[in-house]
Structure 1
Amino acid sequence: MMNKILSVENVEKYYGSKGNVVKALDLISFDVFKGEFVGVMGPSGSGKTTLLNTIATIDEVSSGSIYIDNKDLTKITTKDIAKFRRENLGFIFQDFNLLDTLTIQENIALALTINRYKKSEIDAKVRKVASELGIEEILSKYPYETSGGQKQRCACARALITNPKIILADEPTGALDSRSAQLLIEMISGLNKQLGATILMVTHDSFTASYCDRILFIKDGKIFTELVKGANTRKQFFNQILDVVALLGGDIRDVR
């Protein structure tokens, strides 16, 4: 039996006040299982980022429930939310979000440091994840001394370090050129395939999405359709994604 990591149940999200209410999410329900790499796509304004923000505990739902490893996020107190986020969620952002005043090692270790792990344990965990991502030689450098690709690897290492239940990736290739974007999505795919990380990724990019096991397409705050890669090659899956993008109006970046 597959282990359910994330369960989104009848989630609604409204913005605005009486007389001017916008429904950003409209009764969305889906599950993500352990070891899955799931993509979320949809036109601008479809609700993708709102959905990710509610799962990330950055935004609150108006109604419905979100469970991570059977814990209802909507029931966690404000006092406990930061701790829950540090211990259960990993994040990969479009612009890396590294702290320039910390070394690469300190950036990767930040969540463990905040959670007061022993220094010896932190060092061992950082070395292990740095080795897996091939960045051992830059641990003592600062972000400004490293390349874009090395910063990406650092961001992936930081997302992995706490062994999170799920990694949330928000347009991770959005600010990169084609070559860097391909290297990053291959790295994220590697986290999933080789290390068993469970990943939910919002993306506009069909090429990036073709690395996923499954894509949820969102339109007007609702799930429009779902594509499962199954036995298809990545190229076949890419073409299927393009077909759905065309149906949705083609205003997602679909050409690389």
Structure 2
Amino acid sequence: MTGRARAPRSAALLALLCVGASTALSGCGSEDPDAGTNGVGKLSAAKIERKAKAAAKGAEAVRVSGKVVSKGRTYRLKMRLKESGGVGEVSAEGGTTFQLLRTGRDLYLKAGTEFWARQEGGKEPGKSDVAAAGKLKGKYVKVPEQDPAYKQLSVFTDMETLLEGLLAMEGKRETGERGTVDDTRTIRVTAGKGSGGTVDVSLEGKPYPLRLRRAGDAGTVRLSDWNDSFPLHAPEKDETVDYGKKISSGAQGG
């Protein structure tokens, strides 16, 4: 008699727990993957991509880090960008590392002695080349707008142009797996079954693109610190020097 009385009470307690958890679960024991998200996970791959691009276009600032392949050369970027310019470091594979700073149309480059010593066609520098280059070490050199290097290097400091290129994908869009980027929940959009690129889009807050894998194995890039402002101003006069020549050979990692 006593044993038969306990079973209904246990069943009633289980049912009560299930009902009480219904606000957090879509069913007892079944978690809603979109709970607490911005809702883009319910959209088609094409719509998720459009929302990610719109969020990026409307942002005021971003940090870009990772590897990109451009015109057959591999670069590693550590840049902070906003509409008025950018600042950061670029490393050319097989070449040297240099810093870029752009405010408005003014582009500055800062590099070490080896970079400047190889400006004459990338040939092995002599003692006089090294001595002259030593005077430029640690200084910002303003890149003339008519120099071919200006167009090549300014892309790395142009938020709109760089993001447009990075976010380009090729092939049919499909929704991929969910995951996290720096503890932020994401959903992946793939193009061409992944060979045309992938983008991991934030499921929290605005649907910013947080990680990109470019088509054709052309690098992986992280995008972070969206809308985080940072100071950007031209270098002081005592930090700059007039090089007086084109700098194209070194800018291409020679």
Structure whose residues are more often helix by fraction = 1
The TM-score bracket by the shorter chain reads: under 0.3
Q: Report which structure shows greater RCO (CA 8 Å, sep ≥6).
A: 1
How does the TM-score come out when normalised to structure 1?
Answer: 0.23
What is the TM-score normalised by the length of structure 2?
Answer: 0.23
Could you say which structure has the larger radius of gyration?
2
